[in-house]
Structure 1
Amino acid sequence: MIVGRDVTGRLVEIIEHVISAPCEGVLVEPVGGGRAGVLVLAGSSGRVDTERCRVLARAGLTALSIRWFGGDGQAPGICEIPLETFVAVIDLLRGTVRGRIGALGLSKGAEAALLLAVHDPRVDAVIALSPTSVVWANVGPGVDGVRHPYRSSWTWQGEPVPFVPYDDSWTPADPEGEPVSLRPLYEQSRRTFADAAGAAVIPIERSAAQLVLVAGGDDLMWPSLTFARELAARCASAGRPATLVTSSDAGHRPRLPGEGPADPSDRFRYGGTVEADAALGAAAWPQVVAALVGDPGVSG
């Protein structure tokens, strides 16, 4: 048992459980159980996000994070990952909590969470941090160890989900040896493969899940604010407005209250600042919790 403070300073006791099935991961819950459950998906780091689960557990939620690639028996990269991987985790959460079930993902994890909500109607809410509005090609090799030619990041019922490939003619403008911004790569690839991009749109309007989108205008990894606005527009067209929380100076890695700063990188430029990323997470926090627990009194 771990004793910590929530964002109001109140002492909260939480319990951590290491799990090995259906995937390697950790389940963190307040003593006495959570009032709702949430699947937590990290981005392309592939890590089990214990810190984020602890923050959510201190807010009264049962939070479960898994390693969805790079583990035993899994693809070493984000390549043709079965969305059924996440469906199995929803099964586990459904057997653990009585309340709502949500999915919270960052970046590629948000891509997975959005697709999961399209295919699994048991997902009541999606919190998409720095999301994309289209499915992208693989990042790294599949179970066969092959990176090229490009394949989808995801499959559903054994079939690849339509995707946008990367334009290999792109070269970074950043000085050699310096961290790279990949945003221009994603923008160029979408223009180059416009037909594929049209087929790869995430049809979030097909999901009844409550949607909270969190995106920074200074995201240098990909244009998440543009993507978030596109997702919000698709929801609005179906008569289910989404909540969009944004700021012009935040980057790719918003931080929720109680989380420390994201680790620095010598490979990529993520944009934003420590202060701006924390401020965006703090601004989104009431909407995040409200969507996960089903509180209609808080809106964006």
Structure 2
Amino acid sequence: MRWKNAVMVTVGIAALLGGAALFKGLAPDRYGLPEIEVLAPGVTGKRIAQEELFGNYFRAQGPDAGPGPHPAVLLLGGSEGGLGGGAHQMALALQKEGFAVFHLAYFGAPGQTDALEGIRLELFDKGLDWLKMQPGVDPARIAVMGASKGAEAALLVAARRPDLTAVVAGMPTSVAWNGVNWASGGQSERASWTANGKEVPTMPFGEWDQADGIISVYRTIEDPSRQAEAERAAIPIERARAEVLLVCGEAETMWPACPMSQQVAVRSKARSGPSVTVLSYKDAGHFVFGPPVARDHHFYLRLGEYGGSVEGNAAARVDSWPRVIAFLRRAMVDT
């Protein structure tokens, strides 16, 4: 792989889910980039730091919460690392809807590597097992939710955990890709994930195209001549047993999440896998997924930075988030 503009690549990859990322080796003051966030759980949550597990846990609340047992969600952020603000807002929104939520950090938090490289999928297994044992949680109604690189992890986890009830992935991928290492400008020669001590096979990146931007390196997934490589790196969604909901923006400029979403759906149907529903939005991009953002919120005007318009991404969130909640309720609450 040849990267022709390291700073642009770094900025691009950093935007995967929420825009809050650590650029080790770059000067934060020069680029105006924040440090990795490791947000406190706040008054409705609890910090968890037990052996390998580090995250924030939120007991189910809401007018219909009752004593339980409640459905629960393992929530995974993206390449921003740590416990970032975007996923934190999702956790609070899910908590208010009556779901217990474990927002698990898998890199960039205390005691963890600073790079999204070689992350053991067994860590997510431990997170799920911990979540299932919490008082007030129904171990038979567990979901995993992630966005961007967190969506990649969520789908890989779903393929190895038949005990899951539902999966929600925002801006997902159909294959595993190499990791993210901010110390080397964002690029990495290592796989993002390992399983049973071996690297998960990854899809090769393509050539950097200045006009197309960061999405150009992911265009290999759309190249018919590289189907063998795509099959080798494909997420085996057909092994999952949970229902799957994918949310994507057709105007995305980060990676081709909507074409990859369709690839996940086609593969699952062709191989007798689980039901996969795709919600796609024409005028939305990489900020398509999550609770609605108020017009007076400081982040509102950034919604269009990575594809689609501000209004298009805002409208997509208004439409998709209630559908996410309804999907989880149907799959986990009304069963």
Match of 2:328 in 1: 292
**SS of structure 2 residue aligned to 1:111:** helix
Match of 1:11 in 2: none
| Aligned 1:1-300 pairs, distance under 5 A | 15-21=44-50, 22-31=52-61, 32=67, 35-48=70-83, 49-96=87-134, 97-98=137-138, 99-140=140-181, 150-167=189-206, 169-173=207-211, 181-188=213-220, 191=223, 194-237=227-270, 238=272, 240-259=274-293, 262=299, 269-295=305-331
Separation in structure 2 between the aligned mates of residue 218 and residue 246 of structure 1, nearest angstrom:
10
Q: 1:193 to 1:251 in 2, by over 3 A?
A: same
Q: 1:24 to 1:297 in 2, by over 3 A?
A: closer
| Contact 2:253/2:285 (<8 A) preserved | yes
Normalising by the residue count of structure 2, what TM-score does the alignment of the two structures yield? 0.73
Q: CA deviation at 1:184?
A: 1.2
* Paired residue total: 274
| Contact 1:35/1:293 (<8 A) preserved | no
| Contact 1:24/1:66 (<8 A) preserved | yes
Q: 1:197 to 1:255 in 2, by over 3 A?
A: closer
Cα displacement string for residues 85-106 of structure 1 (whole angstroms, at most 9, x for unaligned residues): 1111101110121151111110
Q: 1:33 to 1:20 in 2, by over 3 A?
A: farther
Separation in structure 2 between the aligned mates of residue 280 and residue 149 of structure 1, nearest angstrom:
32
Q: CA deviation at 1:34?
A: 6.7
**SS of structure 2 residue aligned to 1:127:** strand
Cα displacement string for residues 34-86 of structure 1 (whole angstroms, at most 9, x for unaligned residues): 72100111111013132110011111111111221122332221111000111
Cα displacement string for residues 136-176 of structure 1 (whole angstroms, at most 9, x for unaligned residues): 0121179xx99887221100111111101323x424227xx
Cα displacement string for residues 100-124 of structure 1 (whole angstroms, at most 9, x for unaligned residues): 1111110000000000011112221
Q: CA deviation at 1:279?
A: 2.1
Q: 1:122 to 1:61 in 2, by over 3 A?
A: same
Q: Which amino acid aligns with 2:313?
A: D
Q: 1:216 to 1:148 in 2, by over 3 A?
A: closer
Q: 1:239 to 1:120 in 2, by over 3 A?
A: closer
| Contact 2:166/2:331 (<8 A) preserved | no
Q: Which amino acid aligns with 2:75?
A: V
Normalising by the residue count of structure 1, what TM-score does the alignment of the two structures yield? 0.81
Separation in structure 2 between the aligned mates of residue 165 and residue 122 of structure 1, nearest angstrom:
31
Higher fraction of helix: 2
Match of 2:39 in 1: none
Match of 2:27 in 1: none
Separation in structure 1 between the aligned mates of residue 221 and residue 293 of structure 2, nearest angstrom:
33
| Contact 1:40/1:53 (<8 A) preserved | yes
- Structure 2: where are the runs of 5+ without partners? 1-42, 62-66
Q: 1:44 to 1:234 in 2, by over 3 A?
A: same
Separation in structure 1 between the aligned mates of residue 182 and residue 332 of structure 2, nearest angstrom:
43
Q: 1:223 to 1:189 in 2, by over 3 A?
A: closer
- CA RMSD, 1 decimal: 2.9
Match of 1:3 in 2: none
Q: 1:141 to 1:158 in 2, by over 3 A?
A: farther
| Contact 2:90/2:291 (<8 A) preserved | no
Cα displacement string for residues 213-234 of structure 1 (whole angstroms, at most 9, x for unaligned residues): 1011011100000000111112
Q: Percent identity, aligned pairs only? A: 34
Q: CA deviation at 1:16?
A: 1.0
Q: 1:30 to 1:149 in 2, by over 3 A?
A: closer
Separation in structure 1 between the aligned mates of residue 276 and residue 147 of structure 2, nearest angstrom:
17
Q: 1:83 to 1:56 in 2, by over 3 A?
A: same
Q: CA deviation at 1:297?
A: 11
